[in-house]
Structure 1
Amino acid sequence: MRARPVGYQRWEVIVDGPRDIWAEIHDVAERWRAAGSPDRFRLVFDEDRGQKVVSECGRLSWQLPAPHPLDEGDIP
């Protein structure tokens, strides 16, 4: 993704590749505004070592990638 200014408070965004990152950014921003622009989140852990970020109001959530196991000798 490349962005460049094209006037006062205007930008041109060029997306290339298998994912439209710009569309994903817009989607997340819309969901955040629709949820009331929350500024506090909780980190939730489940018994399967899953991790999720949840907004305080509960209207937004993201599943986080599974943590990688530590190699022997890594500092926990």
Structure 2
Amino acid sequence: MPVEELNEISKSAISEMGNMIMGNASTILAERNINIDITPPSLLTGEQIEISSKVSTIVIPLEIEGIGAVSINITAEEIT
């Protein structure tokens, strides 16, 4: 379905995509005896958002036609 604007439904869809990506990743890792806990995704929107973190983050940039740039940030830390 075409997305005309970044409204509540499209924001929800982006969050759900994050759930699906991390759910699939956790299943693959569990099959390799690597157990992880995932948290619900956070969706931040706006101009010039800055996130500060002391742990490594993987950034996946996406360009969505008609919407613009979207970055998916995945941060992981080992809990002992």
TM-score, scaled relative to structure 2? 0.30
- Tell which has more relative contact order, 1 or 2 (C-alpha 8 A, sep 6+): 2
Structure in which a larger fraction of residues adopt helix? 2
Structure in which a larger fraction of residues adopt strand? 1
Larger Rg: 1
